[in-house]
Each structure stands twice: as structure tokens, then as C-alpha cells.
Structure 1
Amino acid sequence: MPAYLDHAAGTTLRPAAAAALAEALGTVGNPSSVHRHGQAARALLEEARERLAAAVGCEPVEVVFTSGGTEAVNLAVIGTWRSRGGAVLLPGGEHAATVEAAEAVGREGARIVDLPVDADARLAPSVLAAALEAEPDAALVTVLAANNEVGTRNDVPALAALARGAGVPLHVDAIAAFGAVPTAFDGVETMSVSSVKLGGPAGVGALLVRRTAPITALLHGGGQERGLRSGTPSAALALAFAVAAEEAVADLEAEERRIAGLRDRALAGLRAALPGATLRGAEPGPRRLPGNLHVTVAGADGESLLFLLDAAGVSVSTGSACLAGVTRLSPVLLAMGLTEDEARGALRISFGHSSTEADVDALLAALPALAPALARP
């Protein structure tokens, strides 16, 4: 049976979330309608909001449902900048949604201040402190809770304290972190989360927004979601997201240990089979996502490794981005200081709630098939 080891891109749907979705899809009515059918849909939507809020640790009113993580990030970055103006403090290695949202406000007049990250893709608090002092007109700071490619976790409480002390709103992209490690909505103005990363359905996410957060809506119409996200929300998708989130955080510590064990076994096998494999990102432990295994393989091409593993029945990713059919090197790895040649050998293997020892067995059995890719011209 093929092994799915690309959970960082989107994990498998949890049975409880699938059941909740199937049942809720039978509810007819627009949550904004005042008749009984509309109010039944509204009740489902508000139940989802309350359950997701409890799972993430915020007030229900702070949950603004979106179509996914990308929309949540765009609302946070563009909406905050339009409300405040000024500079956007942007660390290296951010997700494309954040980078391109920053570029969008740059075309509207924002000044983008690039912040360097270290060799593990971590933003040092000292770097942010210096930037905040040098940029008194900063509109916002945006940072990953955990890097989606190499798995490194940032020290969000320290970064949040600095931003709060400078009076600058902080947006945290917690899409890769929420449901995988403890994630607190504490000391930040906005936080983006996504359903598909933790076992819920695709097509739904949320932006957590403080009552006092300075933010302007991007979508206009009926004024749903506190006036920040107009459009008829899907109560069924929202409820399935909330159910998946509840399950993801219910036994987080034990699940972290289990998934980290799978990752560490896979890493040992990779190092034994591929002497040129170098782990990228923080060392396994509290500074790294438990399910993330990102390596570069000297003398290999990541795309070739991916295709050979796929042919052997193992699905992984390279960590590079494919845009309009043209593969480009990972901006994350380049921001970490890797050379272009080193970045070409990237391979990301990621584990999730449905991963098992059999998946690791399949990966280790497939590693000998990579031999043809280990002598890249």
C-alpha cells in the first residue's frame, strides 16, 4: 500500500471530522437568514466557533472563519497594513502567502523591511528588537510559529513581548504549528490557522483577531464574521474543522512523542542509506515540529528523489515551490544561507496523525531506489 508522507502539505481527514461534515451537510439554510432553517445553520456555525475557540484558546468572538490559511494570512497582513500604513517587518523564509501579501501592500506603498533568519530559519528576538527600534513607523510584524518547510519553531512569546512593547501588531502564522504542538493565542493581535493541516477538510481556516486589533476587511458584502470577511460561511466545513481541532489537541503531548519517534526512525534510516543527507532546520527536540524531517542530499536533485520515491510508492515533497510549471529553489533554504547547489538536493518528509510504523518501513525499503539520483550532473 502506498505510504503518504507529505502531511505538511495536507494531512488525512480524521474520521470524526468526516462524520461531522457528512451530518452537517444535511443542514439547509443560510446562517444569516432569520427563519428557522437559517437559525439552525447559524447554531451549527456558532457551535463550531465556540469549539474551535476552546481548542485554540481564545474567545469565540475572536474566531473569523475564512476559506483557508492563505486567506487568513492575506487578511492579517493586508488588512492590518491598510488600517495602519507604514513598514512591514518580514522575516526571511516566510510562507509564500505571507511574502506575496507583503508584496501586494508594497505595491500600494508599504515599505518592506526584510529581517534575516539564522541557519535554522529562526528569527532571533535580538533581530526583531533592533528592527523595531530602527522602524518607528512599523505597521506590523509577521512571523511563523513554525516553519512549514524545515520545521523550526520560533520563540513566539519572546517575539510577541517585543512587538507588544513597541506597540506594533504581531501576526503569527500558526498554520503548520496548530494541532502539532501547543499553540497559544497570547500577546499577539492576529493568528492564522488552517483545517487541512490538522485533519479537517480543505476549504476552511480561520484568522484569530483580537477585539482591539487594527484591521480592515478585504472582502465586502454582507458584513459576516464581524464585518471582516463577507460571504456566506459554510457551517458544515467550520464544524468539521472544529471537530478535527478538538481531536488534534486532546492528547497532544503523547501524539507529539509518537510522531517524533516515527520521524527519528526515518532520519536514522536516511542517514544510514544516504551518507550525503544533512538535516536542515533545528535539531529534533522542542525547537522543531515533531512530524517534520527535512534534509538536503549532496550530489542529488530533489525532484529526482521525489519521483523515484513516488515510483516506489512513497509520497513526499522537495520543499521547493513550483510556480507556473517552473521549479525554483526554496526561498527558505536560501534565506538560511544554503548555496543554490545545496538547496537543489532538498527533500521534505512529514508525518501526521494517521502515520504508522508501516509508513516508515515503506520509506526505508524504498531508499535503495534512490541510487540513480545520487550522482547529479
Structure 2
Amino acid sequence: MNTIYFDHAATTPMHPAAIEAYVACASAGPSNPSSLHGSGRAARERVSVARDSLAEMLGCSPAELVFTGGGTESDNAALFGAAFAQRKKGRNRIVATAVEHHAVLNVCRRLEAEGFELTILPVDEFGRVRLEDAQAAIDERTAVVSVMAGNNETGTLQPIAEIGEFARRSRALMHVDAVQAFGYLPIDLRELPIDLLSVSAHKINGPQGVGLLYVRRGTPWLPSLYGGSQERSRRAGTENVAGIAAFAAAAGIARAQRQSRWQHAESVRAEALRQLAAHLGSERFVVNGHPEFRLPHVLNVSFPGISSESMLMNLDLAGVAASGGSACNSGSLKPSHVLEAMNLPSDRIASAVRFSFGLGNTTDEAEKMAKIIATISARYA
């Protein structure tokens, strides 16, 4: 059975160029960038070249980038590091949205347990923050504001530039989780009012286990890992040289093909909706998320009357890989906190499935998926 992989928001297949970069680096011999001998210098050069490439893509200085072990570590390091540094200045308030990834929300709750005041911003029925709520929540005692660029479950985009301006006026630090948006949205950190930004390699056809944290020069921030002086003493531990090289290769392709990647994902998404309407009937499914402010590759759909678990199980048996929401919670039967925050009816929350598109997907696969869903739905009619 040929599997139709519609779960790119969870992880993406590595691009052949990223694999080539990884293999070339991994097969070059011992690679510890901290070593002073020839192989160490060669490894350090590979990391520097990758850092320069990613900095150019993001519109920042290479010195402002810290390589990490992935998006979760980048989120954790950003929030813990900024919050504790800001508390020294008398700032003890954290602001985040109700639809953040758990790598942010769980850190926020941990900071609350450490004595910080936590404000969770509500969202509307499309999963988007109201600017007036954000503006009212951010004041001179706010340490960090954390808002994701694009949601991993619904694809809804947040007004990060506007909220970043609110934070800047109050001298609060602005953190953006761009893990899902990186590679689709243009990001120019010279222009955006962002102090910290998290991205991950495996969401853009790079390897798992590699991430990046942007820390604007002059930002009050403390490291979370202590040990050696790697990453300018901001993240201890030997760098994943082969992974970093592959990350840069994948990012370079994503940058060069950003418009075509958007158009490709959008075409598969649009075809999926057309075919669902044709084979299932438009009255038998509901799209969750913002109709306009959204990422092109994420499609969250509810099939009222069929539980998410039943639909996903049947899709898997038919060779279609999809998700019930965040991959980090795929083993849990808990309702999506994102859809709950949107105050959707319980039957929509309980029947939601996330499809996400990317490298290798076709409109033919979208049609096949719609026909399979129609067949599954007939069993529950």
C-alpha cells in the first residue's frame, strides 16, 4: 500500500539536498567545532557557513543566532532565559496566547509556579488574538510576550508585528514561535519588532534534532544550559555539525522556493476541499481556522458524527497519514486546547482532523483522500 503522507505539520521528509549535506558532513570525519586541530577547524567552518546562510535568510547578524536541539528547546530557552533576566529588572509578568504550542504554554505555567504572573490571551472563533486584548495585557511590568506566528493545528496567523509593537512600547521582550511558519512566511528580523524567535529544521525538510533561536543583540537573556563555551556561551554542548549543515541546506531551498512552496501547498489544500465537497458534501464537514489569515499547508477539518480517533484509524488503515492535532499530543485522547480556546462546539472539537501538506504531495492524492473519507463516512451514516 502506498501511503499518502498528509502530516507535514508534524514532521517533513528530508529534502535530498539536505540528506546530501548531512552525509557529506557526517562522512568527513570527526567534527567537534571546539577542537583546535584541523578537523575541528573544518567543523567550525561548516557551522559558521550554515549560521551565515541562516542569518541572511532571517535578516539578522550571525552572532544573534544560537543553534539548539529543536523547536521545543528554542522555545524553552527563549522564555526561561528572557523571563529570569527581566525579573532582575522588576518585570514579573508573562503574556501568551491560549493557542500556543505546549512547548510555550507549559513553560509559561512553570514560570507561573516560579512566581511570575501569567496572562493568557483569548482568541476568537478563528483562533486569532484580538489586538485590543493584547494591548491591554502588556504593560511596564511585562517581562515577555510570546505569540506564535502560525498555529500548528489550524494554520491561523497571528498579528505578530502589531503585538510586537505593543511589547516594544512597554519595553517587554517579544518572543515568536515561528516553527510552523518558517519557510512559508517572509521573516525579516531587521524590520520586525521581535527580540526572540524559535525555528526548527525538521519542519522545512531538514533533519530532526536541530533548531535555532534568534536572540536580538542587547536582549536581556540568560542561558538555560551550562557547560562549555559553545555558541558564545549561550548553549553549552557540542554542536550537531551534520544536522546544522543539513538544516542550512534545507533552509536555503525553502528560501529560494518560498513562493512556489506556498502555491504548491495551497493547491493541494484547495483541491482537498473541492474533492471533499464533491464526494462527501459540503454540509458534512467544517473547516476550522481563519479563512484568510492562515498558512497554506495546514487544513483542520471537523467531520461531525465521527470521532477524530475513528476517522484517523480508518484513514491509517486506508493508507492516509493525518493527525488529530499537535504531534506532541498524538498519543493523548485529550481534546485540542487550540480548538477549545476557539470555543467551538464540542462535536466539532471531538471530530477534528488535521491534514498538512508539503514536499511530494499531489492534487491526485487530495482527490484519493477525499474519496476515502467519503467511504469512511458512509459507514457512520
Q: Which category describes the TM-score, using the shorter chain as reference length?
A: over 0.9
Q: Are residues 361 and 321 of structure 1, via their aligned partners in 2, closer, same or farther at CA, if it must alter by over 3 Å?
A: closer
Per the alignment, in what secondary structure is the counterpart of residue 81 of structure 2? helix
Of residues 66, 69, 86, the one that matches 1:67 is: 69
Of residues 137, 144, 156, the one that matches 1:140 is: 144
1:82 paired to 2:88: no
Q: Are residues 297 and 364 of structure 1, via their aligned partners in 2, closer, same or farther at CA, if it must alter by over 3 Å?
A: closer
Give the aligned residue type for 1:35.
Answer: H
Q: Are residues 7 and 90 of structure 1, via their aligned partners in 2, closer, same or farther at CA, if it must alter by over 3 Å?
A: same
1:110: which partner in 2?
116
Q: Are residues 291 and 322 of structure 1, via their aligned partners in 2, closer, same or farther at CA, if it must alter by over 3 Å?
A: closer
Instruction: Say if 1:301 and 1:373, in contact at 8 Å, map to a contact too.
Output: no
Structure 2: distance between partners of 1:324 and 1:263: 22
Per the alignment, in what secondary structure is the counterpart of residue 231 of structure 2? coil
Post-superposition offset of 1:282: 0.8
Post-superposition offset of 1:170: 0.3
Give the aligned residue type for 2:58.
Answer: V
Tell me how large the CA RMSD over aligned residues is.
1.6
Instruction: Say if 1:140 and 1:169, in contact at 8 Å, map to a contact too.
Output: yes
Of residues 334, 338, 344, the one that matches 1:338 is: 344
Post-superposition offset of 1:255: 2.3
TM-score of the two chains, using structure 2 as the length reference: 0.94
Of residues 334, 359, 368, the one that matches 1:362 is: 368
Q: Are residues 203 and 163 of structure 1, via their aligned partners in 2, closer, same or farther at CA, if it must alter by over 3 Å?
A: same
Give the aligned residue type for 2:66.
Answer: V
Q: Are residues 373 and 220 of structure 1, via their aligned partners in 2, closer, same or farther at CA, if it must alter by over 3 Å?
A: farther
Structure 2: distance between partners of 1:157 and 1:326: 34
2:52: which partner in 1?
50
Per the alignment, in what secondary structure is the counterpart of residue 226 of structure 1? helix
Percent identity for Structure 1 against Structure 2: 37
Post-superposition offset of 1:322: 6.9
Post-superposition offset of 1:4: 0.2
Give the aligned residue type for 2:86.
Answer: R
Structure 1: distance between partners of 2:275 and 2:324: 18
Give the aligned residue type for 2:47.
Answer: L
Q: Are residues 323 and 180 of structure 1, via their aligned partners in 2, closer, same or farther at CA, if it must alter by over 3 Å?
A: closer
Instruction: Say if 1:321 and 1:330, in contact at 8 Å, map to a contact too.
Output: no
1:261 paired to 2:267: yes
User: Which segment drifts farther, 177-186 or 224-233?
Assistant: 177-186
1:156 paired to 2:160: yes
Of residues 163, 185, 188, the one that matches 1:184 is: 188
Instruction: Say if 1:10 and 1:196, in contact at 8 Å, map to a contact too.
Output: yes
Give the aligned residue type for 1:16.
Answer: A
Post-superposition offset of 1:321: 6.7
2:287: which partner in 1?
279
Post-superposition offset of 1:324: 9.8
Instruction: Say if 1:174 and 1:183, in contact at 8 Å, map to a contact too.
Output: no
Runs of 4+ in structure 1 off by over 6 angstroms are none
Post-superposition offset of 1:213: 1.1
Structure 2: distance between partners of 1:26 and 1:320: 34
Post-superposition offset of 1:52: 1.2
Instruction: Say if 2:31 and 2:241, in contact at 8 Å, map to a contact too.
Output: no
Give the aligned residue type for 1:177.
Answer: A
Structure 2: distance between partners of 1:211 and 1:254: 33
Per the alignment, in what secondary structure is the counterpart of residue 193 of structure 1? strand
Structure 1: distance between partners of 2:82 and 2:257: 34
Per the alignment, in what secondary structure is the counterpart of residue 154 of structure 1? coil
Instruction: Say if 1:5 and 1:359, in contact at 8 Å, map to a contact too.
Output: no
Instruction: Say if 2:324 and 2:330, in contact at 8 Å, map to a contact too.
Output: no
Post-superposition offset of 1:68: 0.3
Post-superposition offset of 1:288: 0.9
Structure 1: distance between partners of 2:8 and 2:329: 20
May I ask how many residue pairs the two structures share in their alignment?
371
Structure 2: distance between partners of 1:176 and 1:111: 27
Structure 2: distance between partners of 1:137 and 1:322: 32
2:8: which partner in 1?
7
Structure 2: distance between partners of 1:150 and 1:33: 45
1:211: which partner in 2?
217
CA deviation vs aligned residue, 1:94-124 (integer Å, no higher than 9, x gap): 1010011111212211111111111111112
Per the alignment, in what secondary structure is the counterpart of residue 41 of structure 2? helix
TM-score of the two chains, using structure 1 as the length reference: 0.94
Structure 1: distance between partners of 2:3 and 2:331: 26
2:316: which partner in 1?
310
Post-superposition offset of 1:227: 1.5
Instruction: Say if 2:267 and 2:363, in contact at 8 Å, map to a contact too.
Output: no
